[in-house]
Amino acid sequence: MTAHYRDPALAPQNRPFALLYLRTTEGMRDANAAGEFSAPEFWDRSVIPTFADYYLDAYAAWQRDGAVDPAWRVAFETLPAGITCTQLIYLGISAHINNDLAFMIEDMGPGYLYADHKHVDEVLAVRARPVVYPEIQRDLCPGLFGETVPPTADVDIFGWREVAWRQGQALAGAPDRAARDAIAGQIRDHAHDRAREIIAWHR
């Protein structure tokens, strides 16, 4: 994550989310090291790096040939002109939660517990956001704290995570491949819809 953020080739519109995700990953690492999750080795070796790979792999695919899911395409290709830094950040957050999280939960299997899933909300609120938003303002977006944000924006993140939990259970419980593929398509459509809503915040 550090190398990704420091990469000179990282597209400017993607730097705010890359920094946010770097600091969030560090916050998750620290929370896990402090014993805040039920299975520290599982979270250290599987959950945290697997979820990070969903983002890094999507960015690499976009750079290579543009073959990414629609929500990530919106996040990666939307330019700062006519959009706020907060919107750029939320496009990344939304894609990672709404497009990726259910699939990661499916990948992790029954060892990924709901109590741990809910504790991530606290890590985001206490360990990540207070650290990274001032840094984003200082280094990337001087007007960040003056930008208008919908009043439900922060609540939406936790709501998205709850939806992703239910979607992950649906993927894992699908009776056959066709049913799973239908759920996967619905997840990607849902994520694309959320991206379009974020783009429309100030239009």
Query: What does the block give as tokens for 125?
Result: 């609120």
Please say whether the beta carbons of 26 and 101 come within 8 A: no
* Dist. CA 168–CA 165, nearest whole Å: 5
* Dist. CA 66–CA 36, nearest whole Å: 38
Cα end-to-end span (Å), the chain = 33
Please say whether the beta carbons of 71 and 192 come within 8 A: yes
* Dist. CA 186–CA 98, nearest whole Å: 11
- Confidence tier at 29 by pLDDT (50, 70, 90): very high
Q: Percent of the chain having pLDDT more than 70?
A: 100
Mean pLDDT of the chain: 96
Q: What is the pLDDT of residues 149-189, one digit of tens each?
A: 999 998 999 999 999 999 999 999 999 999 999 999 999 99
Q: What is the pLDDT of residues 78-117, one digit of tens each?
A: 999 889 999 999 999 999 999 999 999 999 999 999 999 9
pTM of this prediction exceeds 0.85: yes
The parent domain of residue 61 ranges over: 2-199
Structural domains counted in the chain: 1
